[in-house]
Amino acid sequence: MKHLKVIVRAMLLSTLFVTIERTELKTSEKHNGILTDLSKKSMGNINNCNIDYILKWEGGLSKHVKDSASSNCVPDGSGVHTNKGITWLSWRAKHGSNESSIKRFYEMSKKDWLGMYELYWYGIKADKIDSDLIAEFWADFAWGSGVGGASRQLQSYLRSEGFNLEIDGIIGKMTLNALNGLIKAKGERYVFDGCYIHRIHFLKSLKSFADFGRGWMNRLEDFYDYAETKLNG
């Protein structure tokens, strides 16, 4: 099965990482002292995102009762809670819940969809990440797990790389400096593979993995294949 290939790939990468010598950045002071000068430019560009990839995997209207979004359905008795990956809860927060908003949610134009996607892109500060690919990866993480959840996981990943960061879900200067500095020091490939493995472990830790894990892994493998085309030029 495809998701097994994802897990095997992750295991191989994990083994490889054991042999890689890590950069000696042990304190937050040293991180800040070095990395502040490495993160002056913003390279994450939302216009370079593979939007077709997201829409391909999201599909259309969903009323899956085991989805966590099912606790907040459209208030019309349909049971629908998600359209093209946009939950009714998120849509309602931006557009309200009147009859016009409900109609617009069901019709979901590309412009409206992009307007919602921007909330995740800018919420995770993807525009301030010095790599188009890694910016898109974390925006996709936020898309699936919420901005706060993805932000905490990004900080958790960076802590695993030796950075002394608080896991508070707030992407500020220290978090961005750490990530951009790691990209600069270790390279885009190293950081992407590390983030990819971290996301696999995170997904497998979720209770709903039993119900949705196969789809998540297939989707993540598809993103990995897409990433390969970007990393290889």
Q: Is residue 227 part of a domain?
A: yes
Domain that includes residue 15, residue range: 2-44+130-231
Spatial separation of the C-alpha atoms in residues 165 and 179, rounded to whole Å: 11
> Is residue 95 domain-shared with residue 36, that is, in the same domain?
no
Q: Are 193 and 202 in contact (CB under 8 A)?
A: no
pLDDT tens column, 72-126: 999 999 999 999 888 999 999 999 999 999 999 999 998 999 999 999 999 999 9
Number of domains in the chain: 2
Q: Is residue 123 part of a domain?
A: no
Q: Are 193 and 6 in contact (CB under 8 A)?
A: no
Residue predicted with more confidence, 14 or 189? 189
User: For residue 23, what pLDDT band results from cuts at 50, 70 and 90?
Assistant: very low
> Is residue 134 domain-shared with residue 190, that is, in the same domain?
yes
Q: Among 98, 118, 138, give the residue marking a domain's end.
A: 118
> Is residue 134 domain-shared with residue 203, that is, in the same domain?
yes
> Is residue 150 domain-shared with residue 57, that is, in the same domain?
no
pLDDT tens column, 160-200: 999 999 999 999 999 999 999 999 999 999 999 999 999 99
> Is residue 73 domain-shared with residue 94, that is, in the same domain?
yes
> Is residue 144 domain-shared with residue 66, that is, in the same domain?
no
Q: Is the pLDDT of residue 24 over 80?
A: no
> Is residue 66 domain-shared with residue 18, that is, in the same domain?
no
Taking residues 205-219, what's their average pLDDT? 90
Predicted TM-score (pTM) of the model is 0.75
b/e 22-48 (16+ beta carbons within 10 angstroms → b): eeebeeeeebeeebeeebeeebbebee
> Is residue 80 domain-shared with residue 10, that is, in the same domain?
no
> Is residue 173 domain-shared with residue 100, that is, in the same domain?
no
Q: Are 152 and 144 in contact (CB under 8 A)?
A: no
Nearest to 134 by CA among 142, 9, 25, 22: 142
Q: Is residue 7 part of a domain?
A: yes
Mean pLDDT is lowest, of 22-26, 170-174, 220-224, for: 22-26
Mean pLDDT is lowest, of 12-16, 116-120, 157-161, 202-206, for: 12-16
Angle between helices 147-160 and 132-145 (to 10 degrees): 130
CA distances from 85 to 82, 93, 113, 125, 221 (A): 6, 15, 9, 20, 18
